[in-house]
Structure 1
């Protein structure tokens, strides 16, 4: 998955708490095409200028934008109002362009940005809680809140090359405490509206917050990061003492206040997993489904597809297991037995975890060598494999991807959760790598960010169903086109297990949020079909309603478009053309993706 906090998740995530607004968008150029370009450029500049963290994430916090490096995106009611005003103004500016006079990618770009901003604005107007414009209803959970992302952001994205960079880091360290307090205030305001996360989400958030608060300054990444990097760059000053003081007097106190706020609410929190239990919850889930699938599919339709896919994939797994002598019990029980087989489990030690990371890097090199046979375009930006930070691994997913800077100066990062190596048996890892790195997230997102034929606004935007659908489709390309499991039957079972996992998601996400399943019902469904209740994943779906739907819904669309192109072209079908066409269009809503292929006469 792409980390939802990254910039490549559409307008809602881009603008979550940014100070957006101010200024006219553009003067009217001589043609609709030029007018659109000027409008997009103005929107992009305003967006970045008012979102310091986006500027840093993209590597743009330099030159005229250097002052942004000392700031964080605030999370206040005033900024929320400014964000809505920005969207309204941006949409009005886009609509001034005559769409009927646009052709090719200009029209695709127009439709993409307008869909994104219009959908995000609908979220702003309909819901006055959670992440503005994006379906994340709870300010603080095991997966949401700055405590989850800021320490790693400062360590891995805030570069330190000069004294000015170090001073900016210190400013942001103090700003972290301010942001924590702003989110605590938002949390309390939402609680007053009846928007309270499930008890299990709050409990894990409290556990993680306490873990961060109780970490000694000498061991906190917030202190060690600036200490290490200023030393490496020979930047004069006692940075360790300064960071320790800020951490102990400001950050720890803010964490204390946030913990106290969550603990005060915990006794009243419900155990209901579905978003239906909050005011307007059913409408909120509809927003989540639309945002995350970029379709008008209903929860019932998606639930049915999920059940059908679960049955279909289970049968295929069974057919692979039997020749290997795996015949006893359900497929779920057999998957569980495979997962516990010691020959597939890395030692749960520092050395074992490093070996696992080394093996992932080796897998990436192997598949990169095969890419030219299936893709005409290649990403230039490298990818690194990193461990999910220990401080947040308890509630984090098994793996996720963080995009590079626009100029490639910071590579893309494939994060894997190593809280317990038993959770990631070796036969599951190749598929995870193909999903998160190559030809999945890293390749797709890097190509989009490197594509100078796209407006900057499009280079950094994203749609869940396109992005996650591509990554899941990539797993199938690796398996069935590239032959990555030709001599690895257990690895192929891992590929099918991953597909089964995404099919189960369709069932349990709609089950909890639409059919009012309990957390335990969802876990039981997972246990029956996967051999594992997947507690952490179920709790993820509970706080990110609809996000898990984009994977399989998106993959189905990619496969559908490929089948249409094959049917039309027959023996002339070129897989490179199919892949390049979809990738070079950048992330778009699924209906727009289909239009891309139609415009080129491929379907």
Structure 2
């Protein structure tokens, strides 16, 4: 189905976009003060950006719900889902192309720094996305972090996304919300079939995922089909929400019919295709082993780093940073009595130390949740020491749904809705407590929650709509690593030295990612070679890195953005310290970066330039 995008209204055009040209045409330009022209230009830019934001949400209505902006005249988006068919994706690209042309046409002279940043961000995001849409296969992120050549696999696909989204984000507070829930369910078979058409087309081109990824996806899909057949996903969720509101459950009965029937049938069609793909799959892990794989990886690396670095350059930077971090870890290991072997070997030994393990099973899971809660409270109290502009995140810590855990990372996190009604969430993988250690869980908390993803997202949610939608992998993940660094600088490990090892190992782990991702996708590494690099060089836990490596295989390039983004932020901080000397203030620098919002790396540098210009006055 092709969706029409919003167009600029006559009022918006007259109020802003055409203001300066209109003045010139009437011969009055000379009588209008420059600040009036600049104001008109700013108003025009702001309104164009708002229109572009809602144009994007026309194609990704789930984001409108997650942001809490599917209200009033946009309430109809609450009953819609993204069109996953080839035609739907083509229509999405056409909207981006149209709005990119509009944004490029906006005069930049006289615009304030905020609007300059906003326009630069949108232009960069749309250019990257359109290059992705031009590729013959894959799922293209638009202001997102996932570069997925396989539309349905162990951690990609609406069979995973829709149950999580409907259960977590689609609120039911009245009959209209329940109607919208059903409307979305009615669209689900077409959504699944749209994905099916794309993965069948990819198989026709010879693009088949690695067999070991398909094995995971098939197992997960079988669980999803079984749950749908029993009405345990959508119908059960809707019934729970209706009951909580004291509403009749007639909608839930309709949901059960849809879930047991056409939804389950569409999922079975996807499952049959995955099994057909498994019959012809190889275990070659890298995208370079697929048709046009080098081309896909070049785009994925650019999308994931927002730079033009080559695979070789990323690979070498990862190796260099890994060595530097291990040099910092070595004396700490010696101090606590681990003196023999490489840093990786000693970290493996440390991971087996029972003092730092959590109990097995549910008692250990409860212990982990209590540990996280204590660390969140501690770091919240430190934030006035690191920022002048503070936020108070509405957040919760949740277990990743067990059906997803096998294909999921150790944890992930993100901001809540723009209106605050949906909390930010720190999702923790608890399929086994052996995924976590007491010396690395604090650092993971700072990364996913505060001052990392949840904290940063609160600032982005204060920006114009389009800026709350668009995010860039190296900033998102680089900021979360910088958040880990801030926690260390604020004293998180002053009385827990082994915890600093966990922090440094976390940074080293991200340096390893730069090496492993490029190794898999550009240097012909095997899956085992990638896993062993983490275990042997960094002392990582095999149970953790096996799923990590599988994730890199399904999201080429994404893993490279973390440490690269962190290093760019740290480089900018060093530049500010040098430029400002005694006038440098870390709280002002942190504000300048986080208030500028989620940006590509070149725009980050521009934002720091603007901060230095202000601070130097």
Q: Specify the alignment match of 1:149 in structure 2.
A: 161
* 1:597 to 2:580 alignment: no
Q: Separation in 1 of the partners of 2:348 and 2:85?
A: 46
Q: Specify the alignment match of 2:339 in structure 1.
A: 327
Per-residue deviation at 1:164? 2.0
Q: Separation in 2 of the partners of 1:196 and 1:49?
A: 31
Q: Separation in 1 of the partners of 2:610 and 2:521?
A: 37
Match of 1:130 among 108, 122, 138: 138
Per-residue deviation at 1:35? 2.3
* 1:449 to 2:433 alignment: no
* 1:291 to 2:303 alignment: yes
* 1:576 to 2:576 alignment: no
| Aligned counterparts, 1:72-221, within 5 A | 72-125=81-134, 127-132=135-140, 135-215=147-227, 220-221=232-233
Q: Separation in 2 of the partners of 1:408 and 1:548?
A: 29
TM-score, normalised with respect to structure 2: 0.90
Report the secondary structure of 2:425's partner residue. strand
Are the counterparts in 2 of residues 344 and 426 from structure 1 also a CA contact under 8 Å? yes
Structure 2 CA distance for partners of 1:421 and 1:518, relative to 1, 3 Å:
same
Per-residue deviation at 1:103? 4.1
Q: Separation in 1 of the partners of 2:105 and 2:580?
A: 39
| Aligned counterparts, 1:506-525, within 5 A | 506-525=514-533
Structure 2 CA distance for partners of 1:313 and 1:60, relative to 1, 3 Å:
same
Match of 1:430 among 438, 442, 454: 442
Are the counterparts in 2 of residues 20 and 51 from structure 1 also a CA contact under 8 Å? no
Write the deviation string for residues 148-171 of structure 1: whole angstroms up to 9, x where unpaired: 111110111000111221232233
* 1:21 to 2:5 alignment: yes
Q: Specify the alignment match of 1:259 in structure 2.
A: 271
Report the secondary structure of 1:385's partner residue. strand
Q: Separation in 1 of the partners of 2:122 and 2:279?
A: 43
Match of 2:547 among 536, 544, 568: 536
Q: Specify the alignment match of 2:452 in structure 1.
A: 440
Are the counterparts in 2 of residues 21 and 85 from structure 1 also a CA contact under 8 Å? no
Per-residue deviation at 1:380? 3.0
Q: Specify the alignment match of 1:54 in structure 2.
A: 63
Q: CA RMSD in A?
A: 1.9
Per-residue deviation at 1:217? 5.8
Q: Separation in 2 of the partners of 1:415 and 1:161?
A: 25
Structure 2 CA distance for partners of 1:538 and 1:50, relative to 1, 3 Å:
closer
Q: Separation in 1 of the partners of 2:114 and 2:250?
A: 53
Q: Specify the alignment match of 1:548 in structure 2.
A: 559
Are the counterparts in 1 of residues 61 and 82 from structure 2 also a CA contact under 8 Å? yes
Q: Separation in 2 of the partners of 1:306 and 1:440?
A: 22
Are the counterparts in 1 of residues 86 and 197 from structure 2 also a CA contact under 8 Å? no
Report the secondary structure of 2:439's partner residue. helix
Q: Specify the alignment match of 2:239 in structure 1.
A: 227
Q: Separation in 2 of the partners of 1:242 and 1:93?
A: 44
Contiguous gaps of at least 5 residues in structure 1 = 1-16
Q: Specify the alignment match of 2:281 in structure 1.
A: 269
Report the secondary structure of 1:214's partner residue. helix
Q: Separation in 2 of the partners of 1:50 and 1:138?
A: 20
Report the secondary structure of 2:396's partner residue. strand
TM-score, normalised with respect to structure 1: 0.93
Are the counterparts in 1 of residues 239 and 252 from structure 2 also a CA contact under 8 Å? yes
Per-residue deviation at 1:246? 2.5
Report the secondary structure of 1:490's partner residue. helix
Report the secondary structure of 1:401's partner residue. strand
| Aligned counterparts, 1:393-542, within 5 A | 393-450=405-462, 454-479=463-488, 481-531=489-539, 532-533=541-542, 534-542=545-553
Structure 2 CA distance for partners of 1:46 and 1:108, relative to 1, 3 Å:
same
Q: Separation in 1 of the partners of 2:50 and 2:228?
A: 45
Structure 2 CA distance for partners of 1:24 and 1:568, relative to 1, 3 Å:
closer
Q: Specify the alignment match of 2:80 in structure 1.
A: 71
Per-residue deviation at 1:55? 1.3
Q: Separation in 2 of the partners of 1:184 and 1:148?
A: 14
Write the deviation string for residues 393-432 of structure 1: whole angstroms up to 9, x where unpaired: 1001111113211111111011011111111112111111
Are the counterparts in 2 of residues 441 and 467 from structure 1 also a CA contact under 8 Å? yes
Per-residue deviation at 1:247? 2.2
Contiguous gaps of at least 5 residues in structure 2 = 20-39
Are the counterparts in 2 of residues 49 and 65 from structure 1 also a CA contact under 8 Å? no
Q: Specify the alignment match of 2:33 in structure 1.
A: none
Per-residue deviation at 1:133? 5.6
Are the counterparts in 2 of residues 142 and 204 from structure 1 also a CA contact under 8 Å? yes
Report the number of matched residues: 582
